[in-house]
Structure 1
Amino acid sequence: MERTGTILRGRGFEPVEGRIVIDDDGRIEAIEETSVDGSDIILPAFVNAHTHIGDSIAKEAGRGLSLEELVAPPDGLKHRLLRQASRDELVGAMERSLQFMRAGGTAACLDFREGGVEGVEMLEAAADGLEIDALSFARGSIDAMRAGDGFGASGANDAEFGEERAATREAGKPFGIHAGEVDASDIHPALDLEPEFLVHVVHPESDHLERIAEQQVPIAVCPRSNLVTDVGLSPYAELNERTTLALGTDNVMLNSPSMFREMEFLAKLSDLPADEILRMATVNGAEIAGLEYGLVEPGRKARLVVLDGDSHNLAGARDPVRAVVRRAGVDDVREVVLEA
């Protein structure tokens, strides 16, 4: 199997005209530079580094409510709506969000999964047959973490999480935790847990930045969500100078799980270069989750997005990386290749 076009190769996304050869095991066997017909742009499929797709039943609910009123357990609007919904309603809504994500080039999402073991099982049911890696960073119990792919803690001000952290180490699974979303008070306690990654980090102070750099803990940032909930925006350039950033879309209740929209939004409100934002949307999230894709290079799993470079939206673009990050959308997707 092969795909041809302008290939955004390697960690630097160097545009190369040629073909990608995919072997029978669904891995990239070779990238061959050669003149080809057509104007397709080929890039790695996206990894959405932070989602809450369980609230797919509540899209655009809660206008005018604060972050706490929207999502704080146990009585935030989201949790009340989740309790009122049936299992079939929840699974069906999550499945539709996953289908949307897949159509938009997302190969995986790191979902902070409510509902304990049953919540993990519901996400598995929603993802069944969709070829998307919907990873459960389970919340609520150690048993849920063991059933899922890791543990996703709400925040260090909510509980100590020491037992859960120890259990993830024993299980060999990653531990992620929200930190610094509303204020800085939970950042140091979160870092004390030595997590595999933090989420948000909107309000770091200088001592937090020093610890983040020292510990080299990656951060999943969610710009659109932070704007919608009015908590502020992370200091993206300062964080990027100190550690690895990945990109997430957060609650489906508040935002469509579109990595195209998230990239464009971040590109136009920050000074981060386009290639850095594309790494945040692909390989950086993949490496947090231990996935074998996220880049177009030999040996990687062939999880790719093929864009129509001659679409009305992309035709004439002089810089394919900037065009992908700042301009492209789901309507430009010709094919999503999820071979392995």
Structure 2
Amino acid sequence: MDIEGTILAGTDFDPIEGRIVIEDGRIETIEETTTDSEKVVLPAFVNAHTHIGDSIAKEAGGGLDLDELVAPPDGLKHRLLRAASHEELVASMGRTIAFMREGGTGAFCEFREGGVEGVRAIEDALAESPIAATVLGRESVAAMEASQGFGASGARDADFADEREATREAGKLFGIHAGERDAEDIDAAFALDPDFLVHMVHADADHLDRLEAEGWPVVVCPRSNLVTGVGLPPVEDLTAHTTVALGTDNAMLDSPSMFREMEFTAKLTGVSAHEVLRMATLNGADLLDIDVGIEAGNAARLCVLDGDSHNLAGARDPVRAVVRRAGVNDVEGVVLPAETDDNS
């Protein structure tokens, strides 16, 4: 299988006119050659923080604050999740997973509510999908054992010491929300020595220094933070101190489109388009230990755009165009390792 066009290769996304040769689901070679193709080929996105069970209640809860919307155990989302049947959850999550794939996402990390049953529901929703999902169970050690790790709601909700120790002993990922509504839970989250933190909207200078010293990655979700009224994360400061990935957070509040998340982040911060694209692809892949990136030997997880679409035709800088302008309608195809060769 060959794909020709402008290829955003390597860690710097240097545009190469040429061809990607794919064999057995992996990138065999990247060849520089003249081509008439108008395609733009980039790594598939890694959505590093989602709650897609909330797809059962899109745009519910208008006017509610963060606690009223999502705080366990009685925030709106938790009440709606408890009321939904297994079949309803699977169907709604399956449609969201399909939308993510259509929009160029090749992998995602889900904080899955509902304990073991919640993990089983998303496994059923993923049964027909080639997307690589890292599912972090919540609410019990048993949910962690049934999934790829534990996704803690936040240190103000519980101390999570037992869950952290069990996750460490199992050799699995431990992520935790921190600094979303204020800074009060950040130090307690740090004390758990997490593998990564989510949000960090209210990180101060001392927190940033500690992140850098410990090497803890952070996943930011700027659109969600704006919708819930908690403010915007200090993305520029965070990227200066640690690895930062992008997530779309709660499917109840925001479409899980990485195009929208990139554009929002790029236009509301001083972070370069190249760095935002890294946040949406390579950085999340590093966090989840998934090989994403256009390099020989990597799995073929690719998003192929129509560079001659009405939206992208005439773009002078392909990386800026991908980050600040492109959208789901510009996606010509998505290539993922578990799929056949007709995806591009």
Q: Which bracket does the TM-score occupy, shorter chain normalised?
A: over 0.9
* Counterpart residue number, 1:279: 278
Query: Which secondary structure state, in structure 2, belongs to the residue aligned with residue 182 of structure 1?
Result: coil
Structure 2 distance, partners of 1:191, 1:10, is: 32
Structure 2 distance, partners of 1:247, 1:150, is: 19
Query: Which secondary structure state, in structure 2, belongs to the residue aligned with residue 253 of structure 1?
Result: coil
Structure 1 distance, partners of 2:127, 2:176, is: 27
Q: CA RMSD in A?
A: 0.7
Structure 1 distance, partners of 2:39, 2:219, is: 30
* Counterpart residue number, 1:332: 330
* Counterpart residue number, 2:70: 71
Query: Which secondary structure state, in structure 2, belongs to the residue aligned with residue 3 of structure 1?
Result: strand
On the 8 A contact 1:199/1:221 being kept in 2, the answer is: yes
* Counterpart residue number, 2:176: 177
Amino acid aligned to 2:89: L
Q: Structure 1 residue 3 and structure 2 residue 3: aligned?
A: yes
* Counterpart residue number, 1:243: 242
Alignment of 1:85-100 (within 5 A): 85-100=84-99
Amino acid aligned to 1:74: P
Amino acid aligned to 2:304: V
* Counterpart residue number, 1:322: 320
User: Identity rate of aligned residues, in percent?
Assistant: 65
Deviations 1:184-225 (A, max 9, x none): 011111111111100000001121111111111000000000
Task: Give 1:183 shift.
Answer: 0.5
Amino acid aligned to 2:199: H
Task: Give 1:169 shift.
Answer: 1.4
* Counterpart residue number, 2:200: 201
Task: Give 1:134 shift.
Answer: 2.4
Amino acid aligned to 1:305: C
* Counterpart residue number, 2:221: 222
Query: Which secondary structure state, in structure 1, belongs to the residue aligned with residue 311 of structure 2?
Result: coil
Deviations 1:98-135 (A, max 9, x none): 00000000011101000111111100100111111222
Structure 2 distance, partners of 1:225, 1:200, is: 9
On the 8 A contact 1:124/1:134 being kept in 2, the answer is: no
* Counterpart residue number, 1:46: 45
* Counterpart residue number, 2:102: 103
TM-score by length of 2: 0.97
Task: Give 1:261 shift.
Answer: 0.3
On the 8 A contact 1:127/1:133 being kept in 2, the answer is: no
Task: Give 1:21 shift.
Answer: 0.7
Query: Which secondary structure state, in structure 2, belongs to the residue aligned with residue 82 of structure 1?
Result: helix
* Unaligned ranges ≥5, structure 1: none
Deviations 1:26-83 (A, max 9, x none): 1111000000111100000000000000110100000100000001111111111111
Structure 1 distance, partners of 2:29, 2:126, is: 30
Query: Which secondary structure state, in structure 2, belongs to the residue aligned with residue 137 of structure 1?
Result: strand
On the 8 A contact 1:123/1:134 being kept in 2, the answer is: no
Mean Cα deviation higher: 319-328 or 203-212: 203-212
Q: Structure 1 residue 15 and structure 2 residue 22: aligned?
A: no
Mean Cα deviation higher: 302-311 or 81-90: 81-90
Deviations 1:285-318 (A, max 9, x none): 111111122x100111000000000000000000
Mean Cα deviation higher: 127-136 or 307-316: 127-136
Structure 1 distance, partners of 2:167, 2:290, is: 18
Mean Cα deviation higher: 54-63 or 128-137: 128-137
* Counterpart residue number, 2:263: 264
Deviations 1:71-98 (A, max 9, x none): 1111111111111111111110000000
Structure 2 distance, partners of 1:254, 1:268, is: 20
* Counterpart residue number, 2:59: 60
* Unaligned ranges ≥5, structure 2: 339-344
Query: Which secondary structure state, in structure 2, belongs to the residue aligned with residue 271 of structure 1?
Result: coil
Mean Cα deviation higher: 247-256 or 153-162: 153-162
Structure 2 distance, partners of 1:81, 1:259, is: 25
Deviations 1:166-191 (A, max 9, x none): 11111111100000001001111111
On the 8 A contact 1:22/1:29 being kept in 2, the answer is: yes
TM-score by length of 1: 0.98
On the 8 A contact 1:62/1:70 being kept in 2, the answer is: yes
* Counterpart residue number, 2:252: 253
Amino acid aligned to 1:246: A
* Counterpart residue number, 1:147: 146
Structure 1 distance, partners of 2:37, 2:335, is: 18
On the 8 A contact 1:107/1:303 being kept in 2, the answer is: yes
Structure 2 distance, partners of 1:257, 1:37, is: 33
Alignment of 1:121-136 (within 5 A): 121-136=120-135
